[in-house]
Amino acid sequence: MLCAADEALGRTDEVRLVCLAPSPYTKRQDALRAGYGLTLLVRAHLKKLGLPTGVTLYDGSKRLTSVGAAKALFSPLPKVMLVGSSTWSQGSNRFVREFFELTGDVSMLGVKASSWVTSGGAHTGGEMVAMDTQRSLQGLGAAVFTLGQKQMVLTTDEFEDRKAGEFSLLDVWFLDQFARMIALQTLEPAAIPKASETLEFNIRYYSGFPKKSGFESEEIQRVQKTLASLTTRGSAAREDFLQAVR
């Protein structure tokens, strides 16, 4: 819940995801779909904690028409803000850089922040984009976090076991771990240990790295299937998804 100080500063009890990746190369909306999966998972974990915190997903690439439109994505300030992107030419795309250029005088003091990124290959610049985005968020005063030792970079091509653009069960498992971390970031420090137990979260995620049986979670399988169903252009499911994004 928000305290009086939060309300006085115009902050809202919200986790806000802003995606800056219009996907001109593949038209699959990989980063936006990953953000949607993250949205579903964060909502699920907040519900487990009995928290009323809202979770919203915005297509930020449509809000770069003016300084005012871009700054509106920060108003009111959320508890936690995530900026998503795709990798272009081994680095950040122009939409991410334009976003931070338009909003360079915004103050994010008191806001927790992080990023998620999609990249064609495992070694094609995704981590550079994640760190670039996080440094810009730090420059606005945000307190940046990651999933422990892992940057949230998802590979969407260059594999043999599935179609291009499909997220694996391991991808969704990592999204789920990240979603737990995000849910915990909405809490006061004193409440985090007990909530971590409730969510079965360990910052050393690799100590509980799943074997095959670890991927049998109905939630992880459901989210993977949902994201895969959104790759088909013109499908009713995809159109409904795109309409749901703010």
User: What tokens were used for 96?
Assistant: 């991410």
- Render pLDDT for 23-70 as a digit per residue (tens, 0 to 9): 666 677 889 999 999 999 999 999 999 999 999 999 999 999 999 999
Three-state DSSP class for residue 242? helix
User: What pLDDT is stored for residue 239 in this prediction?
Assistant: 76
- Render pLDDT for 76-113 as a digit per residue (tens, 0 to 9): 999 999 999 998 888 888 999 999 999 999 999 999 99
Percent of the chain at pLDDT above 70? 90
156 vs 62 pLDDT, higher one: 62
For residue 15, which phi and psi values (nearest 5 degrees)?
-105, 120
Residue 8 predicted with pLDDT over 60: no
Nearest to 177 by CA among 125, 215, 139, 232: 215
User: What pLDDT is stored for residue 104 in this prediction?
Assistant: 94
User: What pLDDT is stored for residue 154 in this prediction?
Assistant: 92
User: What tokens were used for 215?
Assistant: 């991927």
User: What pLDDT is stored for residue 91 in this prediction?
Assistant: 83
User: What pLDDT is stored for residue 29 in this prediction?
Assistant: 82
pTM of structure:
0.90
CA atoms within 13 A on the CB side of 102: 20
User: What tokens were used for 154?
Assistant: 């998802």
Mean pLDDT of the chain: 87
CB 83 within 8 A of CB 146: no
Amino acid identity, position 225: K
Q: Give the mean pLDDT of 147-172.
A: 84
How many residues are there in the chain? 246
User: What pLDDT is stored for residue 142 in this prediction?
Assistant: 98
In the chain, the domains with their CATH numbers are 4-240 (3.40.50.360)
> Which H or E run includes 60?
none
Residue 4 predicted with pLDDT over 70: no
- Render pLDDT for 164-184 as a digit per residue (tens, 0 to 9): 778 888 899 999 999 999 999
- Render pLDDT for 57-82 as a digit per residue (tens, 0 to 9): 999 999 999 999 999 999 999 999 99
Cα separation of 132 and 106, whole Å?
Answer: 17
**DSSP letters for the chain:** ---HHHHHTTEEEEEEEEEE---TTTSS-HHHHHHHHHHHHHHHHHHHTT---EEEEEEGGGG-SSHHHHHGGGSSEEEEEEEEEEEETTEE-HHHHHHHHHTTT---TT-EEEEEEEESSTTSSHHHHHHHHHHHHHHTT-EE--BTTB--EEE-SS-SSS-TTPPPHHHHHHHHHHHHHHHHHTS-GGGHHHHHHHHT--S-GGGG---GGGG--HHHHHHHHHHHHTTSTT-HHHHHHHHH--
User: What pLDDT is stored for residue 10 in this prediction?
Assistant: 60
When mean pLDDT is compared across 20-24, 210-214, 227-231, the lowest value belongs to 210-214
Q: Could you count the other beta carbons within 10 Å of the beta carbon of residue 65?
A: 9
User: What pLDDT is stored for residue 164 in this prediction?
Assistant: 74
CB 74 within 8 A of CB 108: yes
